[in-house]
Structure 1
Amino acid sequence: MSTTVAELIRQNKVVVFSFVHCPFCTRAKSILTSATKDVRVYECDQMANGEDLRHQILKAYKHETVPAIFINGEFVGGCSDLEAMQKSGDLAKRLA
């Protein structure tokens, strides 16, 4: 049985579905790891089931790009969404 996105986000406080060489992913991971140690990153381009995970995200959340970021089980968007949350103070509140 293959792992589902729903299982992965349920098991971790902060989840990032990423690509290794994506600059937006690198930025998002930097923001999150600076804010909390509780970050789980899945590098989809390095995983056998990475394309399946990305397809699940597209189908469930209508999000086509990486990074795809989840906090406390909730989809929050990509890098620009995360940067806006950081600027507004919402990120710190969600991670508290």
Structure 2
Amino acid sequence: MDTIRGLASNNAAVIFTKSSCFMCHSVKALFYELGASPAIHELDQYANGREMEYALRRLGCNPSVPAVFIGGKYVGSSKDIISLHVDGSLKEKLIEARAIWL
């Protein structure tokens, strides 16, 4: 879990994904569309990816991917991110964390 926390706090926006996950791709595309350049950690590309996935679940990430952190805090999975985007608060969170600028 320390690895996850460390990676999640190293950048303003961090997304834990798997390369074969369609919703992960959609969330990444949304962030890029908003002008953010999140740190992407594709768990299936790490030797300890399975352990990282279990750590995400222990932190409350369900499903484990995509797991989005903004400002070092867990924000949610794809459904949470889409909800935040629809109500306008995703962009606000990204601005507050300095992941995007106006």
The alignment's TM-score, normalised by the length of structure 1, stands at 0.89
1:68 corresponds to which residue? Answer: 67
8 Å Cα contact 1:18/1:66 also seen in 2: yes
1:83 corresponds to which residue? Answer: 82
Map residues 12-27 of structure 1 onto 2, 5 A cutoff.
12-27=11-26
Residue 24 of structure 1, CA deviation: 0.5
Q: Larger helix proportion, structure 1 or 2? A: 1
Is 55-64 or 40-49 further displaced after alignment? 55-64
User: What percentage of residue pairs aligned between the two structures are identical?
Assistant: 28
What residue ranges of structure 2 are gaps of 5+ in the alignment? 96-102
8 Å Cα contact 1:12/1:38 also seen in 2: no
- Give the 3 Å change call, closer, same or farther, for CA 38–78 of structure 1 in structure 2: same
Residue 59 of structure 1, CA deviation: 1.0
What residue ranges of structure 1 are gaps of 5+ in the alignment? none
In 1, Cα distance between equivalents of 2:68 and 2:61: 13
Q: For residue 15 of structure 2, give the secondary structure of its aligned residue in structure 1.
A: strand
Letter in 2 for 1:41: I
8 Å Cα contact 2:61/2:67 also seen in 1: no
In 2, Cα distance between equivalents of 1:79 and 1:62: 11
Root mean square deviation, CA, Å = 1.7
